[in-house]
Amino acid sequence: MEETNDPKLRSWIEVSPDSDFPMQNLPYGVFRRPGGLPAVGVAVGDWVVDLARLHEARIFADLPQVGNENCFARAQLNDFMALGKRAWEAARTRVSELLRSNNSTLRNNEALRRKAMVRRADVEMMLPAACGDYIDFYSSRHHASNVGIMFRGPASALQPNWVHLPVAYHGCTSSLGVSGRDVRRPNGQLPPAAAGGLPGFGPTCELDFELEVGFFVGTGNDDGRPISTAEAADAIFGFVLVNDWSARDIQRWEYQPLGPFLGKSFATSISPWVVPLAALEPFRVPGPVQDPPVLPYLRYRGDWAFDLNLEAWLTPQGTGDAVRICRSNLRLLYWNALQQLAHATVNGARRRPGDLLASGTVSGPTRDSMGCMLEITRNGADPLELPGGIRRAFLQDGDSITLRGWCQGPGYRVGFGECTARVLPAA
């Protein structure tokens, strides 16, 4: 697959050097034209290439891995994901070949080009997969330490199990929303105002975002058969940005002894374009040293952190001016994707095509690299100062959060687009 990552590749489609979607990326998404049916497409520059129309034109007819049935004429990527790595590689190579500057097959076929290409600005993006299970990890040591120090003190910042396994909880798949869908402030039980008092009820006063990256499982596993770290790379389809919205006061009251529930389940936003693992291969780097050594099933070979720049931008209600409030990097993540998938299946639990596993908040050691308001403002004690005298301890109605992520290559960037949502008042 190295040829699809060649920095020298150029397309006959004009692509700006600062575009998130150059030839070296080719992310998959599910889109809908005005009045049309959903279909699977690939983003390149400002365009979407309709893979369903290419399949109808028999562009993939000589690729037995992709199959005779049009797996791209779907409202989700699941059928394509289920075909496995050989099919993903074959389709990616074919699309790359079609778009190269020295290939005239699609460029000179005006009728097919009109059918198969549409501007990204003219389509509606949809959830890229039907997600059966959603797991949210707690894999950033900086994040876990920052939060632990806040609530338990430096001596007990990390729970005893944290350095031995990727801590996680099961999220709510029905609350997954694609970028652009508004998020409504949740109601719930609120902590008592004084020790021994009764809880209150109402809208959360501590609405928060979380800067995360998630991956979709492509091919899963059978009941009772774990996916090892050696097999995990072949089972991972691609990555998206994730904002697992949090109501910190609701969460604080409910989470003991079983963990997050209503403080998390009301909304999770993801970016619409799924960046294939193949596109991220050139950006693999060493991750943090894991000490103490992990158990054998969590050991892996090679470098499996990613030099992926991450940012969070806040647009306060009524201003229209976005302010960057966080800049982090996925290479800081203590537990990597191979370990997350291996741990999520080590008990024999099934993972299926379209399952989503998220990293948890990706934070760094400094205030400007912390990936949520809880950390940035020290649980509201040190509010964020924004231009125009605006202050934020947590998010207010009308505020918008936008996550961005990209890997920087020589003369190009492999980006994720945006994951954005606006806060609506409670019902």
Known catalytic residue at 164:
no
Q: Which of 143, 164, 170, 343 is catalytic?
A: 143
For 133, 204, 230, 361, the CA distances from 236, given in Å and listed in that order, are 15, 35, 12, 20
CA distance 318 to 211: 23
CA distance 169 to 418: 25
CA distance 370 to 325: 9
β-bridge mates for residue 43, sequence order: 48
Which active-site residues does the annotation give?
Answer: 143
